[in-house]
Amino acid sequence: MLRLVLISGLCLICLLAPTPRTFSLEETKDLVSGKQNDGESKSGSTQEAPIVKVKIIMPGSEKNQALTPEMIVRRDKIEHCLASYYPAHVNADILRPWSIMHGLIAYGQDTLVLTGKKRIDAVDYLCANGVGNDRRILSVKNGKLQARKGDGYQGHHGQLLAMFAQSDVPIDHPIQVDDQLFTVGDLVELEKKSCRSRSELTFQLIGLAHYLDSDSRWKNSLGQNWNIPKMISEEIVQPINGAACGGTHRLMGLSYAVQKRMDDDKPVEGQWKRAENYIKQYHEYTMKLQNPDGSFSTDWFEGLSDSGKDADKLKTTGHILEWLAYSMPTDQLHDPQIDAAVDFLVDVMLDVPKNKFGVGPMDVGPKGHALRALRLYETAMFGESSNHQKFASDENIIRDFNIAQQALAHQEKYLDRIGSRQKREPGQLRQRGIFRRK
């Protein structure tokens, strides 16, 4: 009898006890931010140490995150690095369009071009076909907009459009060449017509994936049918090793196409799924190519290597981290290996002579991609909060396209001074072997 009473009592306790809850994603976010659902009041419990919270903005979602002291130090160093490089604007009187584009990749639409004593919005400058040293990147042929490829111009077909895409330049942004008016949309049409099988489509994939609906279909200039899945299938069978900048741009192109498919809220299947799996495999492989100091291999993806030269490690680590920061889910960016790569890159960028940025053409590319890597990481982890934007708001900048065109007039006198160098046709030159705008 006593046993029956005890058993009945235990059963009653179990029935009255609260059952564990399974929290949804939205409820979990509320708990992290200190809120509770169903009108419940907050607990009066206190924590031993304050937690700093920052809003993280990622495509399609918002969530809060508690920052550790280590993360705060890392964030502040990144902001200091970005702010210290920002005033060294690309000098268009010295550097050519290729360098101006790599200044653009670093700071997006905050980028400025120095020309004479003026500071001009870099997007407007390129779209007004401004001179970079002795060259203009745009031309017109048979009434159609063209983008020159070669030494000092684009290093690859579609590179200018890819730079615009990764800086979120609107498709209707005006372009003027001589007296003819175009838009970025005309560049999109140019690259659609230029698609060819068994060719490098890396930069065209970035540009077209950005500006076109992911289900778009078109014909190239040969009348052949094209779409984004076909571009992915063409790119994914080509080698990573030996491709532009060790293959990082090819991986970025594939990653960009997948991300834009997700942004369109459409199923990631077929070639997109194939690319997504391919990228994940390269994520795992890349993490095996990290040196003890946090840098990535100076042989790119060919194997683990450390040349011992900071210039080499800055180039490979900047490019690789740029791709990882863009393509990895945010939770994977918390990996200690990523922390080590960020710390290495920041330290090297703060250590090298900053006044070289915007002067030497070999300097702008690697540093531009390194700065973009830090911006992408910062945005993913901490939100868009860089101190460099304070410089952008404080400076006397020409940010009107029409005024920018007028400000280019002095360049004609400059061209007269340099004489015959401008008279060479692009075909006679030696050929060379990814923010907001409202």
- Sequential DSSP letters for 275-322: HHHHHHHHHHHHGGGB-TTSPBPTTTTSS----S-HHHHHHHHHHHHH
Q: Residue 296: phi, psi to the nearest 5?
A: -100, 165
Q: Shortest CA distance to 257 belongs to which of 281, 228, 282? A: 228
Rounded Cα distance between 250 and 293, Å, is 26
Give yes or no for residue 80 having a pLDDT over 70: yes
- pTM over 0.85? The answer is no
Give yes or no for residue 435 having a pLDDT over 90: no
Give yes or no for residue 193 having a pLDDT over 50: yes
Query: How distant, in Å, are the alpha carbons of 172, 201, 210, 272 from that of 215?
Result: 20, 18, 12, 11
Q: How far apart are the first and last CA of the chain?
A: 80
- pLDDT bracket for residue 208 (50, 70, 90): very high
Q: Looking up tokens 């703060």, which residue turns up?
A: 350
Q: For the residues 317-329, what does the mean pLDDT come to?
A: 97
Least confident of 151-155, 215-219, 255-259: 151-155
Q: For the residues 129-145, what does the mean pLDDT come to?
A: 91
Q: Looking up tokens 């890159």, which residue turns up?
A: 345
Give yes or no for residue 359 having a pLDDT over 70: no
Tokens linked to 339: 């922390």
Give yes or no for residue 432 having a pLDDT over 80: no
- pLDDT bracket for residue 86 (50, 70, 90): confident
What domains can be seen in the chain, in order of their start residue? 55-428 (1.50.10)
pLDDT, position 53: 30
Q: What is the DSSP letter of 226?
A: E
Rounded Cα distance between 146 and 161, Å, is 11
With residues binned 3-state (H G I as helix, E B as strand, rest as coil), the percentages for the chain, rounded to 5, are 55, 10, 35
High-pLDDT (> 90) share of the chain, %: 57
Give yes or no for residue 362 having a pLDDT over 60: no
Burial of residue 416 (CB within 10 Å: 0-12, 13-18, 19+) is exposed
- pLDDT bracket for residue 341 (50, 70, 90): very high
Rounded Cα distance between 412 and 331, Å, is 52
Q: For the residues 379-407, what does the mean pLDDT come to?
A: 68
Give yes or no for residue 326 having a pLDDT over 80: yes
Rounded Cα distance between 159 and 185, Å, is 15
Rounded Cα distance between 58 and 330, Å, is 8
- pLDDT bracket for residue 93 (50, 70, 90): confident
Give yes or no for residue 389 having a pLDDT over 60: yes
Sheet arrangement for strand 112-115: 90-91, 112-115, 118-121
pLDDT, position 125: 92
Least confident of 88-92, 134-138, 255-259: 88-92
Rounded Cα distance between 337 and 293, Å, is 10
Per-residue burial over 6-24, b if 16 or more Cβ lie within 10 Å, else e, is eeeeeeeeeeeeeeeeeee
Rounded Cα distance between 248 and 246, Å, is 6
pLDDT, position 73: 94
Q: For the residues 145-156, what does the mean pLDDT come to?
A: 92
Give yes or no for residue 99 having a pLDDT over 60: yes
Higher pLDDT, 111 or 415: 111
Give yes or no for residue 423 having a pLDDT over 90: no
The SS3 assignment for 87 reads coil
For 268-313, the pLDDT digits (tens) are: 999 999 999 999 999 999 999 999 999 999 999 999 999 999 989 9
pLDDT, position 416: 52
Asked if 62 and 55 count as a contact pair (C-beta separation under 8 A), the reply is: yes
CA dihedral 352, 297, 373, 51 (to 10 degrees): -90
High-pLDDT (> 70) share of the chain, %: 70
Residues in contact with 203: Cβ distance below 8 Å, sequence separation at least 6, in sequence order = 156, 157, 158, 159, 161, 162, 249, 253
Rounded Cα distance between 101 and 368, Å, is 9
Asked if 63 and 56 count as a contact pair (C-beta separation under 8 A), the reply is: yes
Rounded CA Rg of the chain: 26
